[in-house]
Amino acid sequence: MTPLDLAGYLVAALMTAVALWRMPAALWGDEEDKRRRALWGCYAGFAVALWTKTRAVRIALNDSAVTDLAVLIKHYTATIAILAILSYIVAIYGHYPDAGTVPRHVRFARAIQQVATKASIATLILLTVLFFTVVDRSVPSDRFVADHAGQWGATLYMSVFYLYLGTASAVCAYQWALATAGAGLRHLRVGLGMMTFAMFIGVGYTVSRTLFLWIGVVDTPSEDFALKFDEITEAAQVVLFAFFAVGASVPALGKGQRRARLWRAQVKLHGLWYELMTAFPEQPFDPPASLARELTRFDTPADLRVDRWAADIADAVEKLRHYVPDTLLPAARAAAADDSGDAPDGGKAGPLAEAYWIKAALRARSTGAPASGAATVAARHATDQDGEVAWLVRVATACRTVTQDRAEQVLARAVSAASAESAPATGTTAPARTPSLEETA
Give the pLDDT of residue 303: 80
Give the pLDDT of residue 28: 67
pLDDT at 430 over 80: no
pLDDT, one tens digit per residue, over 242-266 is 998 888 778 767 666 777 888 888 8
Closest CA to 173 of 72, 86, 286: 86
pLDDT, one tens digit per residue, over 134-178 is 999 988 888 889 888 889 999 999 999 999 999 989 988 888 888
pLDDT, one tens digit per residue, over 13-40 is 999 998 888 787 677 655 456 667 778 8
**Average predicted confidence (pLDDT) for the chain:** 83
Give the pLDDT of residue 48: 94
Q: Is 95 helix (H, G, I), strand (E, B) or coil?
A: coil
Give the pLDDT of residue 439: 39
> How far apart are alpha carbons 186 and 199 in whole angstroms?
20
pLDDT tier, 93 (very low <50, low <70, confident <90, very high otherwise): low
> How far apart are alpha carbons 74 and 162 in whole angstroms?
13
Quick one: average pLDDT of 72-78?
Answer: 93
pLDDT, one tens digit per residue, over 99-125 is 556 667 677 777 777 788 888 899 999
Quick one: average pLDDT of 186-197?
Answer: 86
DSSP string for 362-401: HHHHHTTPPP-SPPP-PPP--SSHHHHHHHHHHHHHHHTT
pLDDT at 87 over 80: no
